[in-house]
Amino acid sequence: MHPEDLLDVIRRYKGDRTVLIKKLPEQVLVDIINQAEDQEKVGLLELLSEDMQKGVINKISADELVDLIESVPDEEAIEILNKIDYNDIDEVKELMSYDPDTAGGIMTPDFIAINKLMTIGDILKYLRSEMSEAETAYYIYILDDQDSLIGVVSLRDIVVNDLNVQVSEIMTENVISVPVEMDQEEVGHVFEKYGFLMIPVVNTKNKMLGIITVDDIIEVLQDENTEDIYRLGGLHEGERVAGSVRDSVKRRLPWLFVNLLTAILAAATVGLFEGTIQRVVTLATFMPIVAGMGGNTGTQTLTIIVRGIALGELTFENAKKVLLKEIEVGMTTGISVGITVGILGYLWENNPIFGVVIGLAMLLNMVAATFSGYVIPVTLKKLNIDPALASAVFVTTVTDILGFFFFLGLATIFITSLI
């Protein structure tokens, strides 16, 4: 049975988990805890006796252990650190020194490294003795005396070559690696680009520090995607669908109050024109159309720009062309929608000038919407702020305010023709 399926059984088990877990051999427990979510790891560990905890902690892979330690309060972290064997503690501490969102934060230090003078026969012998340790033996890295990365061979290369061939004859020398401080999202792009199963991580001196495997990258990409989707939707990235009411309220309220401020700005814009609305009350009826259509046009542009930045498809090279494209799209769709709404307004009020006012306001607002849907995320990106934080809220604020301003402003100018 796969550890992940055993984990599912434990998750669904209604009885006393302590009894269930004590029946499992230590290696199976280690595999299960390696697979579990960070919070689950803690819960599972707590079910074990002190002795068993110590045994398991020293067998979990170092990177999983660091994730575990970083997810618990300081006191518990110290307790776990105290249970780690003297030999392993330096490795764990080194891993803890890297920012969790970088290559260093997601790499594992368990990789197979050899000397370039070894033959295939030597490597096979070495693998048979070491294999139980390294989970990730599909690639074998060749280091020089300073631990600098000088080559890589795959297990396939080893299998298909003769035993007396020296590894230096068959190794690939241009190894693609990532620097230890590279952001994890960028590491994800490297995996996407090359389709690798794993990538070595090096420091500035090309010393090999660890490897990142593709299964960890899938998690990274999913987390980054969730973060973007959440931010575009005005949610804090830490929220979970099955979380508590208290947690959700605490995370959503600040965002709603930011939005309240922006809504008040939009309301204040309308407030400037109360006199005009008093005289032509149908203006109030058409307000939601101008604001709504502007908001949606802006959200369309915002969405494609934010995603384009995340996927690396919007670059310095095509940025200006994309901006011009978006504005042209705003003009073209603005003319179509503007004429439609203009006719609607004309028929509703039986007044062609009313049609011109609403149609023109719509066109102006939709062009402004594509412009701000581009400029807001691109500016945030330049300021090194996540462009997804631009979120619909800020763009719709602009389109609300400008929409009301154009519509009610034009109505004020043409007021004598509207009454």
Closer of 96 and 343 to a second copy (Cβ): 343
Please report whether residue 10 would count as binding a second copy according to CB under 8 A. Answer: no
Please report whether residue 242 would count as binding a second copy according to CB under 8 A. Answer: yes
Identified binder of a second copy from the candidate list 84, 337, 380, 398, rule CB under 8 A: 337
How far is the C-alpha of 36 from the C-alpha of 33, rounded, in Å? 5
Angle at the Cα of 26 from the Cα atoms of 20 and 31, rounded to 5 degrees: 90
Please report whether residue 32 would count as binding a second copy according to CB under 8 A. Answer: no
Identified binder of a second copy from the candidate list 6, 24, 113, 197, rule CB under 8 A: 197
Please report whether residue 264 would count as binding a second copy according to CB under 8 A. Answer: yes
Closer of 21 and 263 to a second copy (Cβ): 263
* Nearest residue to 400 (alpha-carbon basis) of 358, 360, 354, 368: 368
Closer of 117 and 131 to a second copy (Cβ): 131
* Nearest residue to 20 (alpha-carbon basis) of 33, 30, 7: 7
Please report whether residue 187 would count as binding a second copy according to CB under 8 A. Answer: no
* Contact status, residue 172 vs residue 152, Cβ threshold 8 Å: yes
Site for a second copy in 82-141 (CB under 8 A): 124, 127-128, 131, 137-138
Q: Which pair of tokens denotes residue 303?
A: 């969405």
Please report whether residue 233 would count as binding a second copy according to CB under 8 A. Answer: yes
How far is the C-alpha of 57 from the C-alpha of 37, rounded, in Å? 15
Please report whether residue 302 would count as binding a second copy according to CB under 8 A. Answer: yes
- H/E stretch holding 201 reads strand 198-202
Least Å distance, CB 284 to a second copy, is 4
**What number of chain residues touch a second copy (CB under 8 A)?**
112
Torsion angles phi and psi, residue 85, rounded to 5: -60, 150
Identified binder of a second copy from the candidate list 4, 16, 70, 99, rule CB under 8 A: 4
How far is the C-alpha of 360 from the C-alpha of 339, rounded, in Å? 8
Sole residue written with tokens 């090279």: 317
How far is the C-alpha of 75 from the C-alpha of 405, rounded, in Å? 56
Please report whether residue 13 would count as binding a second copy according to CB under 8 A. Answer: no
Site for a second copy in 272-291 (CB under 8 A): 274, 277-278, 281-289, 291
* Nearest residue to 339 (alpha-carbon basis) of 326, 352, 327, 349: 352
Identified binder of a second copy from the candidate list 78, 117, 267, 347, rule CB under 8 A: 267
Least Å distance, CB 274 to a second copy, is 5
Closer of 23 and 321 to a second copy (Cβ): 321
How far is the C-alpha of 232 from the C-alpha of 299, rounded, in Å? 9
Site for a second copy in 43-62 (CB under 8 A): none
Least Å distance, CB 94 to a second copy, is 24
Please report whether residue 237 would count as binding a second copy according to CB under 8 A. Answer: no
Please report whether residue 314 would count as binding a second copy according to CB under 8 A. Answer: yes
Least Å distance, CB 93 to a second copy, is 26
- H/E stretch holding 309 reads helix 282-310
How far is the C-alpha of 69 from the C-alpha of 83, rounded, in Å? 12
Angle at the Cα of 186 from the Cα atoms of 182 and 191, rounded to 5 degrees: 110
Q: At what angle do helices 26-35 and 38-46 cross, to 10 degrees?
A: 150
Identified binder of a second copy from the candidate list 170, 356, 393, 415, rule CB under 8 A: 393
Please report whether residue 36 would count as binding a second copy according to CB under 8 A. Answer: no
Identified binder of a second copy from the candidate list 114, 217, 363, 418, rule CB under 8 A: 217
Amino acid at 202: V
Least Å distance, CB 318 to a second copy, is 5
